């Protein structure tokens, strides 16, 4: 990468990090009220991920889907009530998992430090620890002090969460609405290096891209052939496919290598290559050390989206319901 472009790249990253809305949070927030909370979260999360490697992607996605709707306030964890459909019932969230892990952590934390630690902080820590398990150490710091929200509305999730088929301008706009920039967009898309999705989200790219029974021309032809075998037509709604081909359980930079070979699975993945600066960042992120460093910074930024702190919000006793 040419020096002047590299400097510009780092400058954009710095602007994003420096503007992160983490001022209400701080490191070791619970050092007096619940000094063992991070140890508890890590031990339970690592134990769960060791037993079920798919949980790393699920917990990461759960955190992301929470933060993009009303900020990182654990609103996605709230169950629906007779008078309200909560976020978890919205179409983009129906395949989200990992709730039971947060329930288990909350139960243990309440036993040790009753009514001290928010569900929002537990979710943020668990997402970090789920990714970190593979590396045997915490991959980024998580400032804490979030409070839990009391509102969860399905329609807001439908409106706020990026679509799997979104184009670049739509994606960037939704990220900018959350004080995240183009570097964060590309970096956080790297979360697709782990996990799976349903063939239904890929079907249009494989079988009817322009309404004429054609394949998305931006998709690597060999990869398209492979996907058509994995997701035969008519599509079975239960069939799943790896987000990152042959690397869906390893948190690494392979996702960006695949993008550069036009093997991004979703339309929103492929969209990252349609903007010249975004494509430049994708190439830079092929370096695993660069990706992991930037991913941690962007996760810290995302974890600060519209947080509730201080006297606002509450600390739920049960992450699924607001306090009585």
Q: 192 labelled as ligand-binding?
A: yes
- For residues 157 and 92, the answer to whether their CB atoms sit within 8 Å is yes
Full DSSP string of 42-74? HHHHHHHHHH-TTHHHHHHHHHHHHHTTTSSSS
**Nearest alpha-carbon partner for 174 in 183, 188, 185:** 185
Kindly compute the dihedral angle of the four CA atoms of residues 130, 136, 138, 139, in this order, to the nearest 10 degrees.
-80
How many CB atoms neighbour CB 268 within 10 A?
21
- For residues 294 and 285, the answer to whether their CB atoms sit within 8 Å is yes
| Cβ partners under 8 Å of residue 146, min gap 6 | 25, 72, 73, 74, 118, 120, 121, 124, 307, 308, 309, 313
Q: 244 labelled as ligand-binding?
A: yes
Q: 66 labelled as ligand-binding?
A: yes
Q: 71 labelled as ligand-binding?
A: yes
Q: 129 labelled as ligand-binding?
A: no
Q: 252 labelled as ligand-binding?
A: yes
* Assigned token pair, 281: 């960042």
- For residues 243 and 265, the answer to whether their CB atoms sit within 8 Å is yes
Query: Which alpha helices (DSSP H) does 98-199 contain, by range?
Result: 99-112, 119-132, 154-160, 168-176, 182-189
- Active site residues per annotation: 65
d(CA 286, CA 166): 23
Q: 245 labelled as ligand-binding?
A: no
What is the widest separation between alpha-carbon atoms in the chain? Answer: 63
Question: CA–CA distance from 323 to each of 272, 310, 315 (Å)?
Answer: 42, 17, 8
φ and ψ at residue 84, rounded to 5 degrees:
-155, 135
d(CA 188, CA 259): 14
Binding residues for substrate: 162
Binding residues for Ca(2+): 66, 69, 71, 73, 75, 87, 193, 244, 252
Binding residues: 66, 69, 71, 73, 75, 87, 162, 192-193, 244, 252
Binding residues for heme b: 192
């Amino acid at each position: 990468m040419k020096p002047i472009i590299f400097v510009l790249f780092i400058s954009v990253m710095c602007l994003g990090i420096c503007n992160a809305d983490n001022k209400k949070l701080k490191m070791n927030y619970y050092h007096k009220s619940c000094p063992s909370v991070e140890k508890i979260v890590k031990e339970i999360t690592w134990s769960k991920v060791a037993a079920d490697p798919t949980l790393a992607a699920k917990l990461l996605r759960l955190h992301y889907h929470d933060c993009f709707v009303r900020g990182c306030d654990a609103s996605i964890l709230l169950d629906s009530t007779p008078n309200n459909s909560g976020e978890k019932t919205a179409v983009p969230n129906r395949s989200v998992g990992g709730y039971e892990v947060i329930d288990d952590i909350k139960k243990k934390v309440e036993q040790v430090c009753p009514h001290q630690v928010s569900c929002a902080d537990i979710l943020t820590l668990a997402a970090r620890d789920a990714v970190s398990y593979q590396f045997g150490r915490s991959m980024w710091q998580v400032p804490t002090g979030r409070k839990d929200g009391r509102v969860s509305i399905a329609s807001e999730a439908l409106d706020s969460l990026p679509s799997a088929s979104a184009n670049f301008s739509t994606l960037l706009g939704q990220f900018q609405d959350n004080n995240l920039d183009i570097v964060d967009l590309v970096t956080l898309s790297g979360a697709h290096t782990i996990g799976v999705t349903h063939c239904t989200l890929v079907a249009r790219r494989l079988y009817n891209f322009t309404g004429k029974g054609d394949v998305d021309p931006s998709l690597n032809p060999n990869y398209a052939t492979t996907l058509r075998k994995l997701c035969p037509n008519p599509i079975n709604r239960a069939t799943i496919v790896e987000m990152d081909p042959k690397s869906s359980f390893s948190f690494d930079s392979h996702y960006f290598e695949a993008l550069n070979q036009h093997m991004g699975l979703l339309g929103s993945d492929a969209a990252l290559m349609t903007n010249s600066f975004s494509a430049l960042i994708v190439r830079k992120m092929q370096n695993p050390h660069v990706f992991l460093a930037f991913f941690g910074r962007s996760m810290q930024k995302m974890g600060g989206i519209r947080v509730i702190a201080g006297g606002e919000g509450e600390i739920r006793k049960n992450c699924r319901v607001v306090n009585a």
